Amino acid sequence: MSITTLQRVNTLLEGRLHQILRQEQHNADRVNLYDVGEYWVAFERSAYQLEQMSRKADDTVMLHLAASPFPIAMHCMHHTRVNAMCRKHVMAHKSMEYLQLLTRPIDDKSYARWYQDHIDS
């Protein structure tokens, strides 16, 4: 990721971190994506869903932020890959800076195991 992308991620998190985490807390069947330049990012349960859809674990990082008492999962995907994915999945919402894709409901135990595996690695 470029420095501009990292700055955009930082700006997104500074302004919307609590809103994003509230949205993800009970998210079971949607991937919420946020535009940060040449990449889209997804957090927490959306990051899990996106990783499962893309089969690329190396694009997931755990963020350790002062504003959060626990690590936050973030999955990054280049715009071209997201565009291709949008042709295969139903979009529930689309705007210039936000996409929401519908997916199958996630299994909470699988998500918890995935989250713990990323913390441990």
Query: How far from 15 is each of 11, 110, 115, CA to CA, in Å?
Result: 6, 30, 24
Sign of CA dihedral 12, 14, 15, 21: positive
- Where are the domains positioned within the chain? 3-120
What tens digit of pLDDT does each residue of 19-45 get? 999 999 999 999 999 999 999 999 999
Task: At 120, list the tokens.
Answer: 């441990």
Per-residue confidence (pLDDT) for residue 91, from 0 to 100: 85
18 and 3 Cβ atoms separated by less than 8 Å: no
Task: Going residue by residue through the chain, which has 121 residues, state the pLDDT in tens, using 9 for 90 and above.
Answer: 566 888 999 999 999 999 999 999 999 999 999 999 999 999 999 999 999 988 776 789 999 998 889 999 999 999 999 988 888 888 888 888 999 999 999 999 999 999 999 999 8
- Using alpha carbons only, what angle is made at residue 50 by residues 84 and 3, rounded to the nearest 5 degrees? 85
Confirm whether pTM is higher than 0.85: yes
